[in-house]
Chain A
């Protein structure tokens, strides 16, 4: 025998994979189709194509207020998560300190912990501190929960970096700060942009933590949530379709940036989902 392992053809497995894709995409397609449906949500077959729901959407002031709030929250959350995730990743990658294992677990816990627990604990903290619930508490919540994503993303970038450049810089007499700004930071730029995109998207969609920390001003998901209680309307299909298109676009850009800096096989662990992905390499 010679050459690489040859994948065998297996039509049954292929058909099953197709079925899984259909399952994953069926609701998404339904959602988009019915956002153009003249006779409202539901019923079959959809009839009377229309853009009315999108027109209604663009005239809906309170919805756009919510969009604005969400964008603001997401932007600040990105700043917090990156501002703390970058040093956290540097610390985990190249420094030893007491309590490092606990620190790693704690930072990464919000990745897997159901949002309700993070949300409730923070609610108790803010109430205990006498803070009024507002977009500020939402921002603190998002920032804290998403440090985990920033840390895993940036850590993955650090692991891929060519250390020789840093060592050369240090050998040639630059101190650590100079080396960081001249070598490490520029090399991490793509990882940082990719992390920012992912965090922005996740914050824009966040609902479980937000649910407990929201004050008077709604974020977009919370605004949609409160409208869902009053019944479903095709207008929600229309805004959902737009949200979906936006997240698909950012996810694809994120993926491209990611696979540009690393080999394709590593992207999945870089998606920041495996808490154990930060182990052993420190």
Chain B
């Protein structure tokens, strides 16, 4: 079954206090407009949103909520996979035998102080082995980074270059939290420590937002060439090698196999940079370089906007912002926009193949999607 992206839409990712209904409506309306269809043509929907205690509108039955908004009684499935929820929703939707499927990611996480958000996100780790031992998400990723540094000689400066790159990209994205705000490498290096060696700029920023994509059997100019989901053990300490995220390895292999292309063929990618180390490990686990050589890519500028394969032109989770479930959908929005050459000053030169990589937990659930620009 050949699948295409018809249209995309997203809100600005921000600290703005908006309801999920309001944000969903904006993203969906944009996606419908971009697709040049109205809601009548939507046959099914897949929504990803986290079940959180930390906002003022906790809602477990988000499917029917969306039904109320759409004023439709179509099949609506909820696919939660925390930070990987958006990608998992797209993966699910692309397997449904409906013509036009709406994929929505929406989350309002900023209704609470940092410590409550920290606890909420920590709940994506193992209950007794990790949560009880204070393994908040910056900590688990910092431990992984440290192992990578010990094993391969990666430095913290290498990681901070990823933060700098993504902030530079994000400063050019009107939908990004850090739009118009340039952050110097000096500021990044001098930021307060969160969990050694990580400082504030190693960590993505929590925001509110929604993103929507309409998948279709109707041929468009954006073809879904590869679509894979893989999992890995929940806790990195349980894995044979903490620096290899097998969910990324497996989903990447499968997606490239479906696309019949190689990593070197990708022109632009949105990689899951919840923490700087996650992007660096993804370079390696997706095959953009050999294991242990991720730092070389960032040192050489390979993933910069003017590099061989720009990564996170949207600003990534770092600078566009990370509203949890919408992230994976927003990555597809960016790649679609790049392939349609409508990214303004952050536009990559005429890309034909784009990749998205979305991770839930510390490598637990991973989706890799490959999109190809075709004649519409």
Partners in one complex: no
User: Which residues of chain B have a CB within 8 Å of any CB of chain A?
Assistant: none
Identify the A interface with B (CB < 8 A). Answer: none
